[in-house]
Amino acid sequence: MSFDYDLFVIGGGSGGVRAARVAAADAGAKVGMAEESRYGGTCVIRGCVPKKLMVFASTYAPAMKEAAAYGWDVQAGSFDWPSFRVNLENELDRLESVYRKLLKNSGVETYDLRATLAGPNLVRLADGREFTAKTILVATGGWPSVPDIQGAEHAITSNEIFHLNALPKRILIVGGGYIACEFAGILNGLGVDTHLWYRGTQVLRGFDGEARSVIAEGMRARGVTIETETNLAKIVKVLDGVQVTNTQGTIHGFDLVMYATGRAPNSTALGLEALGVGLDQLGAVEVDRFSQTAVPSIYAIGDVTNRVNLTPVAIREGMAFVETALKGNATSVDHSLIPSAVFTQPEYGTIGLSEEDARAQEAIEVYATTFRPMNTAFINDPNQVLMKLIVSKTNRKVLGCHIVADGAGEMIQMAGIAVKMGATKEDFDRVCAVHPTMSEELVTMKSPVRTA
């Protein structure tokens, strides 16, 4: 049987674009791709890239205060959000054009339309056109989820935060995950009176407990108001903003409410279930270790599978998919020991197990230190750094590394190499310290602070 395409990719995010490009350019496949929004997906258009640029912008006001404390004659002035937004949107336009050019130069045929599956080898575009494909790859990513409460339509999500006409004077962020905490730091740094409500007992659930505490304390010290064991019950639109009621029945006023209560796999109404493709209770596409669904011709990668929802992981899954489905070289992705960064303020870099998870698994030693870093201790700033290693008592391997500090994301990339290679605590100890740096503490901690 002949097909219109060897491969048709639904979703133009980082994973889908990489898979399409490599399939066309390296595997010689005829490739089609459909994207209903913008090429680049969550990461480039409404996630990692614009968020990190906002992180950069938000650090200049405190940096100028630090400069003044060091003796420089500077003052912050005010932040020009409209000017920043124009520059941000121009940069996103530039990046999207790069993605489009890469696809075009690779020979991928693109369609700026929503696509659904009409059969195991049939894709239907929103305008009614249909194409057959030997293999179909679903790479539709995730989408913010908003609880069903009264007035939820008056709140925004992280999708809309980049495109506000003006910054609010007072904002409520609902949620305690990394997106909520990152934007709390960003908006606070840009001069917004920022409040964060989280229903749990501590923000950043799932991460290392000690790191979570240091980050929360650092956020509060920088001016973010965090209220735990508090949730939003109702939002009412009023003339000068919104009036919100929390689960304790207390009423507060804000200019804006932002929900950051998680993201759900973007699998709704794609036609997957009718074809026999499994979806779990969260809507994630069920795949095997080679990203293949229960329907042999249909694969899925990235956040829509809800495995490890990180851009570099989606890209690796896309590369492995091409090897498996188009080159006949069955290749899976190792989802263990993936370093990651949370761009909170203070920043967090992590790889491996938290202390809590490691303790539940085996006997461990914990090496940890908190201290005031040299650059801010000099000006009597209360900023705290955490360096932490979780070590197996049995084989001495470093099971987890946790860094809370400025530049933690840069540091964890390097530490991640050692942990991924199976380095032991003694391997760390044999490395000579780079002095004076914060990261030297990773190789100078000689005695455990606790064992379990």
Digit-coded pLDDT (tens) for 160-189: 999 999 999 999 999 999 999 999 999 999
User: Residue 231 — pLDDT band, cuts 50, 70, 90?
Assistant: very high
In this structure, what are the phi and psi dihedrals at residue 62, rounded to the nearest 5 degrees?
-65, -30
pTM of the prediction? 0.96
What residue ranges of the chain are covered by domains with CATH 3.50.50.60?
5-143+264-326, 152-261
pLDDT on residue 1:
79
Q: Which CATH superfamily is domain 340-451 in?
A: FAD/NAD-linked reductase, C-terminal dimerisation domain (3.30.390.30)
For residue range 120-155, list pLDDT tens digits in order: 999 999 999 999 999 999 999 999 999 999 999 999
Query: Which own/partner pairs from 98-104 qualify as long-range (CB within 8 Å, at least 24 positions apart)?
Result: 99/12, 99/17, 99/39, 99/40, 99/44, 100/39, 102/17, 102/21, 103/12, 103/17, 103/20, 103/21, 103/33, 103/39
Specify the CATH architecture of the domain 5-143+264-326: 3-Layer(bba) Sandwich (3.50)
pLDDT on residue 434:
97
User: Residue 76 — pLDDT band, cuts 50, 70, 90?
Assistant: confident
What residue ranges of the chain are covered by domains with CATH 3.30.390.30?
340-451
Cβ atoms of 132 and 32 within 8 Å: the answer is no
Inform me whether the pLDDT recorded for 82 exceeds 90: yes
Active site residue ranges:
435
- Give dist(CA 187, CA 52) in Å, integer: 12
User: Residue 158 — pLDDT band, cuts 50, 70, 90?
Assistant: very high
pLDDT on residue 75:
84
Length of the chain: 452
Domain 152-261 has CATH 2.60.40.10: no
Neighbour count for residue 297 (Cβ, 10 Å): 18
Six-digit token string for 420: 């991924």
